[in-house]
Structure 1
């Protein structure tokens, strides 16, 4: 189905609702669709290829301070879909009769028109398969590709009407050594770049050679370390819930010390929610218009993510996030370290390709624990010497991103979420790599 088909489908559903709800009823409709290609690879060959075309909507009905929602799938045939919508509307009306009024009901009555159809250029399935099979020649490669357009729409009885199309793809794969060690790589883009993919495979081949060397066992202690973008993203992702106005207000945020001024990040660390450049729509599923929002500027807290309910509770101004109050289009400003000079700048220490199993060991101090994983190496005099045994770390983000942050790379990497549970995700992070000192390994 074409972009126009999905758009016409959404418009017709919204128009039908506007003429089939009563004066005492209000509605909102969230439209979530995708036309995706999924390809699984094993040993550098295609294991499974499939297409997923699906439409899911969330209909919310409000009347006399009572409200209820229903989520259901549509077929893409307007007659069938309107019949399903009509049935859902009838069921919600019956349900509202049984519900008490909600004294805390908070509605977004904003009227807006928002339309954005982001450009994208992706390979056909045949082209993608040819690229991956060719680049995987002689390698034990395992991975999954997911790509195609994603459609989002929102309409309400208060006059809101939003439409968004984003085209993107990601290839999440691992290259395995005969000894069982692996290099993990994720490539994401809206405009597929074959040369960039080839460069990732080339780097992966180089790292596989090093993975064949005897592993080095490190002692607990503090080490100079470089976090490749994938590993740095794992650390930064631990901050996601900390920007919530609700979490900051009830002191459950990992950034409460930053808010109180008792801790700070490095002046080199600046992070923002960039709704205008991400793949997510400029509106959310609750009917608010998303905004660009500085979150950390030169190491200090510069803003927070405020939903309509938190705005009312804490006397703040809402800035377009939904009730989760979580960022979805993060951008971390680059530094001045060329990626080509990373090993030289590191000198002797750790090159960390990936981290996993991260969790907070002390939320109040933003102290995080986890494990090194996938293509993490010991470096001496700017040269990779050996892979390291998996190590546990436990360190405060106020240290890693604060006084111990030495440099950020000039180049930034776009990471697109690979989550596809229920539907593909459109969250993005644009970030550099990071060089730090005194990173704490515990065992």
Structure 2
């Protein structure tokens, strides 16, 4: 199967047609009482590591794998294999895998929560944005960061997903994106962190962030302020807010956790607590989304354009994957119980008014090592580290030594939520385990009237 990185859509169609050819030949070998799902996952990605603002390691990953799922009555078996690019070889390998699944299937027990879409569906999505040129992008970044001790990783490229089943599903999805995650280091262990991701590469946001990082590094050279434990006003930048929404996503929104009473949002679910009425969280897959995720799931279900998880501070709809949907009799609306394209509605606090609105308090760029300290009360603990400053009368005066917070999200996102930023930042996942992640969040910064610090 030839899946070569190119801007010529004809080669993309060739890649799709090769997958379809293998899948359809396999479908022809499926027996009348069998259902066969064939799924392709492929990527062509550039990875570049920088150290001291110089390229230290550069590489390219080209990988494609085929996943087969064989279903007979209420039993299923699945397995996968890597594809070589040789159509004949790949078909024989997949054919052998199908035979192994058939042998394995008769020894497996019934699966009471087995569910797949029985409605045939089709889709084809091709990206309109060009691939980011990694070489040109890195050259522009290094020029903008001249004189800085920059450490970071660049990842960009194209990710393809395909699905064919004997039910009649026929889907193809291609996305192109880039992600640059970096930090700039000062004296000692001081550093500030930056992240820029998207679909259309433009060096301007990176230049702007690097300019502000130079100013922050000058502030970090000042003696650190050590604050005693207590409650402080705080502004959380979008990257810090993402750590809190990640905690909410940890069993917060999936139907299974809610029905088994294991969700950390149990008190919200029961109506005993609520967030601020301005807080709205949605899982977005339609026109307002990044377009990175396929519109279909591995089970053949179509994702809705949008799903409201938190509506004006109250619990919205749960994420229902195929297994939970079968168990609890609800319609499937997600590939899993974890949000993959989360968006928070912005507010009205302009970026140039943040320091004035904060007055005196903490300006927090990042939070680290977050975990539940008491999930029953949605209580989270974590650390400040890089890019945390003390502000007095709207002026940044000093860096702040690392502190540990321990606070309930019902307070932080509820009665003490003072304002939401007017601008949102797109944050793409930097995870590459098993392949580049397509998960994303789009979040504003948050101004809080008080945040509790224990150490």
TM-score, scaled relative to structure 2: 0.94
SS at match of 1:242: coil
Q: Is the 8 A contact 2:279 2:413 kept in 1?
A: yes
SS at match of 1:358: strand
Other-structure match for 2:246: 237
Q: Is 2:260 the counterpart of 1:246?
A: no
Structure 1 residue aligned with 2:447, among 422, 435, 440?
A: 435
Question: How far did residue 5 of structure 1 move?
Answer: 3.4
Question: How far did residue 62 of structure 1 move?
Answer: 1.3
Q: Is the 8 A contact 1:244 1:325 kept in 2?
A: yes
Q: Is 2:44 the counterpart of 1:35?
A: yes
Matched residues in 1 for 2:299 and 2:328: separation?
Answer: 19
Q: Is 2:346 the counterpart of 1:334?
A: yes
Matched residues in 1 for 2:19 and 2:215: separation?
Answer: 48
Other-structure match for 1:286: 299
Structure 1 residue aligned with 2:317, among 262, 286, 303?
A: 303
Q: Is 2:272 the counterpart of 1:262?
A: yes
SS at match of 2:197: strand
SS at match of 2:452: strand
C-alpha distance after superposition, 1:17-41 (max 9, x if no partner): 2212111211112211111011110
Matched residues in 2 for 1:178 and 1:117: separation?
Answer: 47
Structure 1 residue aligned with 2:372, among 360, 365, 371?
A: 360
Unmatched tracts of structure 1, length 5 or more? none
Question: How far did residue 103 of structure 1 move?
Answer: 4.1
Other-structure match for 1:391: 403
Matched residues in 2 for 1:145 and 1:42: separation?
Answer: 12
Question: How far did residue 120 of structure 1 move?
Answer: 2.4
C-alpha distance after superposition, 1:214-245 (max 9, x if no partner): 10101100000000010011111111120101
SS at match of 2:422: coil
Other-structure match for 2:7: none
Matched residues in 2 for 1:175 and 1:30: separation?
Answer: 41
Structure 2 residue aligned with 1:140, among 140, 146, 149?
A: 149
C-alpha distance after superposition, 1:264-307 (max 9, x if no partner): 00011111000112311111122211112111111111211112
C-alpha distance after superposition, 1:301-360 (max 9, x if no partner): 1211112332233233322x13x3111111101100001111111110000010011001
The residue correspondences of 1:28-427 to structure 2 (distance < 5 A) are 28-240=37-249, 241-276=251-286, 277-278=289-290, 279-291=292-304, 292-319=306-333, 321-322=334-335, 324-427=336-439
- My pick for the range that moved more, 127-136 or 187-196, is 127-136
Matched residues in 2 for 1:110 and 1:209: separation?
Answer: 60
Matched residues in 1 for 2:189 and 2:323: separation?
Answer: 50
Matched residues in 2 for 1:5 and 1:213: separation?
Answer: 58
Matched residues in 2 for 1:103 and 1:413: separation?
Answer: 42
Question: How far did residue 117 of structure 1 move?
Answer: 1.8
Question: How far did residue 139 of structure 1 move?
Answer: 0.7
Matched residues in 1 for 2:348 and 2:112: separation?
Answer: 53
TM-score, scaled relative to structure 1: 0.97
Matched residues in 2 for 1:418 and 1:80: separation?
Answer: 33
SS at match of 1:364: helix
- Compared with structure 1, are the counterparts of its residues 250 and 101 closer, same or farther at alpha carbon in structure 2 (3 Å cutoff)? closer
Matched residues in 1 for 2:50 and 2:150: separation?
Answer: 7
Unmatched tracts of structure 2, length 5 or more? 5-10
- Compared with structure 1, are the counterparts of its residues 59 and 206 closer, same or farther at alpha carbon in structure 2 (3 Å cutoff)? same
Q: Is the 8 A contact 1:119 1:190 kept in 2?
A: no
- Compared with structure 1, are the counterparts of its residues 253 and 103 closer, same or farther at alpha carbon in structure 2 (3 Å cutoff)? closer
Q: Is the 8 A contact 2:113 2:327 kept in 1?
A: no
